[in-house]
A and B are shown apart, each in its own frame.
Chain A
């Protein structure tokens, strides 16, 4: 049973091959067909992952009604001490198979969409090379069986995100955004690394399966040693898991490490759809889910996950209501939805019916990937036409872009949780779980759900309704995005841009009906789903109300929204300015860290470390100046030294060193 999953190795390998080919030869020899090469290799990967999913979920993944964790392939790469080694392996279990499907499917859609969107770009081949690299790293991360392997792919994912954000490297904002994303996530990854080291030290292994096995039995020596060791009043288990979560929070843009995500929207829009909406940013959720059995042993760490997730969900939803850049609205909405997934994990228990939160979180991750990438691709389609990211440059586009309009509407309904769209099912599960476990969280979640509907439909009405479309909309303006000036066509773009929208829209409608609770659960056993019609009334009614509110504000141009905004006064301004988190960061770094930590260290480096080295150099110089006369260039002098040396050695060996 082990070996028949070996072909899964090809799923990450194909994008890697395409990366190497396109990266080495793309720009010179394959510039025209590089998109097709990337797409073809990914199409194969996608088909393989569908085959794998079918085989795992419906043929042989289940033994006695429980989904098994299968290690399909493993080899020891670096061994530090017996037991503690870095292995490269592939783990096959419900969440990794589910993520395989999500990543390859969304990535394929983005590849296809980019065929139209990025057409005519000078670095077209490079773009596809980077996309392939990203897909490879993300798939590697998903399949990793060793936590250090996760870390390596984690960094690769971060690096490819960096490369893709700064794709338009002649735009200063994009360069700044890529650096910000890299530095913030690197900072979080420091925590991740320390967390890995703590768990590895006490667990005596880096293998995920073994770690889980050792830390989940309360009587194992490893578990006793890690819970007895404490630091600053918390056990090392809490520390290790919290630091692990810190890495996840950085990648998943959880408050307060979220600042990079809105800026990351400077990258090409399909990239935002792939990396900053559907796949990479959920890596943090995936990490927590992967280590969930260990998390479930520690109440404190789970509480941190819960409250950080809930706070991010609410915080981001409030900000999203005030932003005017459509991609930033979507970015904050992503952050808010990931907050949902996080707190759903946080309130869950491991195994049994109380594991509903875990299953709901994974379900939401799954559905969210489809409708959020649809929203981004729709936004990309709009931006492609309007050449602007700002809402005020849009309006009345429903007649000009009928396909985009319908797809976007479906995605909005899905994220708002209106039945029967995908978001409804997963959000219901999360709300149910929250209702059973923690009423405060339930309240926050409900309010956030209403806010979500409001800002999504604010976006929808502003883009597709509001004012009537005029040619002025197409005027190039200072915000002209993505350098599409070269081909100034109108309409929705070629079929390669419409097809992904249609497919994803179909997914946004359909994937909610997948019986997820039978497939992906914390202990591999099927759950009894209990969607209660009566329970769903409140959230759905709130969402509908919020949609109607948004319609009354934004469907036609009117003053209502401005009035409300001014009624909120300072709160509105604060939300519009993203609650000054960026300013706080700048204050912290420029006013505190730079003058009090950075500059003293720089002084010490310049004067003490460099000074010591300079001193050595100076001493050498002085001595050599004194003795350089020995090298006179006169042959007879050298002969004298030679003779003197022989005499000295003779005396030494004959008379002294007998």
Chain B
């Protein structure tokens, strides 16, 4: 079986990253935005794993980093959702365009 070249994996992760970014910039719903951020994080995870396998197959550093990022992402999701709930309680909405008081 022919091995998948690194460039293709990087292509997937880049695509994933920009999809996430597109979602972050265009969606107004905070939950969706949070999901977009998770996509971007996962694209980074793919990069870590891919580079680890192709460049330093004898080390495990990249995998460890990935595990850490997954853990942190879980915690971060909990905090983000708590913020969103609080926003909903005060603004009765989770639309970012409704929370623009902090301006000039």
- A64 at interface, CB cutoff 8 A: no
- A563 at interface, CB cutoff 8 A: no
Contacts of A636 in B (CB 8 A): 24-25, 96
- B100 at interface, CB cutoff 8 A: yes
- A28 at interface, CB cutoff 8 A: no
- A633 at interface, CB cutoff 8 A: yes
Q: Which of B72-92 contact A (CB under 8 A)?
A: none
Contacts of B25 in A (CB 8 A): 636, 639-640
Q: Which of A615-643 contact B (CB under 8 A)?
A: 628-629, 631-636, 639-640, 643
A contact face: mostly helix, strand, loop, or mixed:
helix
With beta carbons under 8 angstroms apart, the residue of A629, A633, A640, A643 that contacts B101 is A633
On whether the beta carbons of A631 and B24 are closer than 8 Å, the reply is: no
With beta carbons under 8 angstroms apart, the residue of B21, B24, B100 that contacts A634 is B100
Tell me the smallest distance from the CB of A427 to a CB of chain B, in Å: 82
Given contacts A639-B25, A640-B25, A643-B21, contact A634 B96 (CB under 8 A): yes
On whether the beta carbons of A628 and B97 are closer than 8 Å, the reply is: no
Residue of chain B at shortest CB distance from A625: B104
Residue of chain B at shortest CB distance from A643: B21
Residue of chain B at shortest CB distance from A628: B104
With beta carbons under 8 angstroms apart, the residue of B24, B97, B99 that contacts A639 is B24
- B55 at interface, CB cutoff 8 A: no
What CA separation (Å) do A631 and B96 show in the bound complex? Answer: 15
Contacts between chains A and B (CB distance < 8 A), count? 23
What CA separation (Å) do A313 and B18 show in the bound complex? Answer: 98
Contacts of A629 in B (CB 8 A): 104
- B4 at interface, CB cutoff 8 A: no
What CA separation (Å) do A635 and B95 show in the bound complex? Answer: 11
Could you mark each residue 18-30 of chain B with 1 if its beta carbon is under 8 Å from any beta carbon of chain A, else 0? 0001001100000
Residue of chain A at shortest CB distance from B26: A636
Q: Which of A129-177 contact B (CB under 8 A)?
A: none
On whether the beta carbons of B21 and A633 are closer than 8 Å, the reply is: no
What CA separation (Å) do A636 and B33 show in the bound complex? Answer: 10
- B102 at interface, CB cutoff 8 A: yes
On whether the beta carbons of A631 and B103 are closer than 8 Å, the reply is: yes
What CA separation (Å) do A635 and B24 show in the bound complex? Answer: 10
Residue of chain A at shortest CB distance from B100: A633
Contacts of A631 in B (CB 8 A): 103-104
What CA separation (Å) do A635 and B99 show in the bound complex? Answer: 9
Contacts of B101 in A (CB 8 A): 633
On whether the beta carbons of B97 and A634 are closer than 8 Å, the reply is: yes
Tell me the smallest distance from the CB of A23 to a CB of chain B, in Å: 51
What CA separation (Å) do A632 and B102 show in the bound complex? Answer: 8
Contacts of A635 in B (CB 8 A): 96, 99
What CA separation (Å) do A127 and B75 show in the bound complex? Answer: 71
Tell me the smallest distance from the CB of B1 to a CB of chain A, in Å: 36
Tell me the smallest distance from the CB of A236 to a CB of chain B, in Å: 63
What CA separation (Å) do A628 and B104 show in the bound complex? Answer: 6
Could you mark each residue 49-88 of chain B with 1 if its beta carbon is under 8 Å from any beta carbon of chain A, else 0? 0000000000000000000000000000000000000000
Residue of chain A at shortest CB distance from B103: A633
Contacts of B102 in A (CB 8 A): 633
What CA separation (Å) do A71 and B97 show in the bound complex? Answer: 81
What CA separation (Å) do A636 and B32 show in the bound complex? Answer: 13
What CA separation (Å) do A643 and B100 show in the bound complex? Answer: 20
Q: Which of B1-58 contact A (CB under 8 A)?
A: 21, 24-25
What CA separation (Å) do A106 and B104 show in the bound complex? Answer: 69
Contacts of A639 in B (CB 8 A): 24-25
Residue of chain A at shortest CB distance from B101: A633
Tell me the smallest distance from the CB of A628 to a CB of chain B, in Å: 4
Could you mark each residue 633-657 of chain A with 1 if its beta carbon is under 8 Å from any beta carbon of chain B, else 0? 1111001100100000000000000
What CA separation (Å) do A633 and B103 show in the bound complex? Answer: 4
What CA separation (Å) do A210 and B69 show in the bound complex? Answer: 77
Residue of chain B at shortest CB distance from A635: B96
Residue of chain A at shortest CB distance from B30: A635
What CA separation (Å) do A643 and B24 show in the bound complex? Answer: 11
What CA separation (Å) do A635 and B98 show in the bound complex? Answer: 11
Contacts of B96 in A (CB 8 A): 634-636
Contacts of B97 in A (CB 8 A): 634
Which residues of B approach A to under 8 Å, CB–CB?
A: 21, 24-25, 96-97, 99-104
Q: What are 12 inter-chain pairs, A to B, with CB distance below 8 A?
A: A629-B104, A632-B100, A633-B101, A633-B103, A634-B97, A634-B100, A635-B96, A636-B96, A639-B24, A639-B25, A640-B25, A643-B21
**Closest A-B pairs by Cβ, 9 of them:** A633-B103, A633-B100, A628-B104, A631-B104, A633-B102, A635-B96, A631-B103, A634-B100, A632-B103
Which residues of A approach B to under 8 Å, CB–CB?
A: 628-629, 631-636, 639-640, 643
Question: Knowing that A633-B101, A639-B25 are A-B contacts, what are 4 other residue pairs whose CB atoms are under 8 Å apart, sorted by A's residue number?
Answer: A632-B100, A633-B99, A635-B96, A639-B24
